[in-house]
Amino acid sequence: MVGATPCASCKLLRRRCAKDCIFAPYFPPDDPHKFAIVHKIFGASNVSKMLQEIPVQQRGDAVSSLVFEANARSRDPVYGCVGAISYLQNQVSQLQMQLAVAQAEILCFQMQQQQQQQQQDHHHQQPNNIPITTQQMMNQDEKSLLLSTSNFDYNLLQQQYLNFSSTTSNNIVMQDPPKRESLWT
């Protein structure tokens, strides 16, 4: 039937919405803001090129992440998503410190317990090495301390932008750091 509603992209770009429009599945006409913000930051042409290079089954996620980044950049024109990343990295560092302190404390307790047990039970020698539960916790600690850097040399880029991370912490605009569940809202 002729006269199907054009998608939000084609409405904004004032063009005919083709049957195989690359934007149509992801930018429905009832949410014009979604495409508007992506177009403002990235440009329709760039978004189209990016989507064409991605398998169809991943384009939905790609669009969601582009919308997220565009909104972040719109809210914070200086730092965009990098502000959120800096904030979260700060949180990770603080948690790692707290973890280290807590693990040191528990290690102390266990060593004290071990010494007490050795003193009380003089005839039954305990092994000299650290109890297995603490070893397991330490291995778990090593795992949890690692930042996942699966895709690229993030650490190199991190060093690059650490020069302005001190100002970043003073200028964080993101009130709600994105959580896993609400990333796409």
Pick one of 31, 167, 173, 185: the residue that binds another protein (CB under 8 A): 167
Asked whether position 85 contacts another protein by CB under 8 A, the answer is yes
Asked whether position 77 contacts another protein by CB under 8 A, the answer is yes
Q: How far is the CB of 113 from another protein (least distance, A)?
A: 8
By CB under 8 A, what part of segment 105-134 binds another protein? Answer: 105-106, 109
Residues 6+ apart with CB under 8 A from 1: none
- Among 62, 63, 56, 75, residue whose Cα is nearest residue 34: 63
Q: How far is the CB of 1 from another protein (least distance, A)?
A: 34
At 37, the amino acid letter reads I
Q: How far is the CB of 120 from another protein (least distance, A)?
A: 14
Phi, psi angles (nearest 5°) of residue 153: -80, 70
Instruction: Report CA-CA distances (Å) from 29 to 42, 47, 65, 67, 157.
Output: 19, 17, 19, 16, 38
Which span (10-18, 25-33, 80-88, 121-129) binds another protein, by CB under 8 A? 80-88
Q: How far is the CB of 125 from another protein (least distance, A)?
A: 23
Phi, psi angles (nearest 5°) of residue 105: -65, -45
Measured distance CA(99)–CA(54) in Å, rounded: 40
Residues 6+ apart with CB under 8 A from 146: none
Site residues for another protein per CB under 8 A? 40-43, 45-46, 50, 53-54, 58, 61-62, 65-66, 68-69, 73, 77-85, 88-92, 94-96, 98-99, 102-103, 105-106, 109, 137, 140-141, 144, 147-148, 150-152, 154, 157, 160-161, 163-164, 167-168, 177-180, 183
